[in-house]
Amino acid sequence: MLDEGQKGNCRARTNKDGKIITLVYGKPCAVHVDPIEKKPLYHFLPASKAYSIGTAGCNLHCKNCQNWEISQSEPEKTNNIDLPPLEAVSRAAGSGCKSIAYTYNDPVVFYEYMCDIAKIARPRGIRSVAVTAAYINPEPLAELCSTIDAIKVDFKGITEEFYSKVCFGRLQPVLDSLKTIKKSGCWLELVNLVIPTLNDGADDISRLVDWVLDNLGADVPLHFSRFWPQYQLRELPPTPEATLDAAWKAAKDKGVKFAYIGNIARHDGNNTYCPKCGKLLIKRAGYDVMENNIAGGGCKFCGQKIPGIWE
């Protein structure tokens, strides 16, 4: 409930004349052409470019946010450009991008803008990707899943305490959202940013992996990403490589078919391997794809189908 002129907790909406309106529609403050691997999405149009858009505001307030200058800012305090949906699609096409990514802040706060772009982009052969924490109500999420092609969810932790103290949100809505996305058929990948002392315990990793396997299945790619000191957590160290190795191994040992390590370049955990024959399918170095042995949506060596959107 907002009083007249009052902004929401996300900073991107306000009460004007008794109606909640968006303050960021068509006004992104971050626009870049990125490799799709930066999102990260590893099973979605590898080596392609994504026209990436973000606005001011966010519905969470994560202490580790790397884009806090815009996500925790108000629209009138960021450098915005005028970019209506049709123009965004035209620029994406002109940049040779195969997709448009709604990212940098959480696109939940520019939901209408995202959906309008996606509806224009799809008939033109340009796909849409939401990079989100999935902190959203069921009804708009269901509509979103029918509008876009892929969702990368930052699955921040497996405890209510972590979501409450670090993100100022709640865990259960995220768990519900993950089930909805998976059921919808929209392509889904997960990233767990492993933060020392906060969500890096072996029990936390084990519980998170078990939940993914029990509720989403073994085919959903699960990335464990290295934390770098940011925003309000600058006193913490970067995640030790050994911690990420342990999480990666635990996920694979439990049955996750596509476990990855992020933010450590030239690590084996960046690569995709066939779950049947074990051969190297996609070799990555940072955001670059060095080798791709997926043909017709499957392993070039044994024919095993590999879940994802490949072309």
If you average pLDDT over residues 187-214, what whole number do you get? 98
pLDDT at 266 over 90: no
**Percentage with pLDDT > 70 across the chain:** 100
For the chain, the average pLDDT equals: 97
**What pLDDT, on the 0 to 100 scale, is given for residue 265?**
85
* Residue-level pLDDT at 1: 87
How large is the average pLDDT for residues 193-212?
A: 98
The pTM is what?
0.97
Q: Residue 288 has what pLDDT?
A: 96
HEC string for the chain: CCCCCCECCCCCEEEECCEEEECCCCCCCEEEEEEHHHCCCCCECCCCEEEEEECCCCCCCCCCCCCHHHHCCCHHHCCCCCCCHHHHHHHHHHCCCCEEEECCCCHHHHHHHHHHHHHHHHHHCCEEEEEECCCCCHHHHHHHHHHCCEEEEECCCCCHHHHHHHHCCCCHHHHHHHHHHHHHCCEEEEEEEECCCCCCCHHHHHHHHHHHHHHCCCCCCEEEEECCCCCCCCCCCCCCHHHHHHHHHHHHHHCCCCEEEECCCCCHHHCEECCCCCCEEEEEECCEEEEECEECCEECCCCCECCCECC
The pLDDT value given to residue 303: 97
- Residue 90 pLDDT > 90: yes
pLDDT at 78: 97
| Level-2 CATH architecture, domain 13-299 | Alpha-Beta Barrel (3.20)
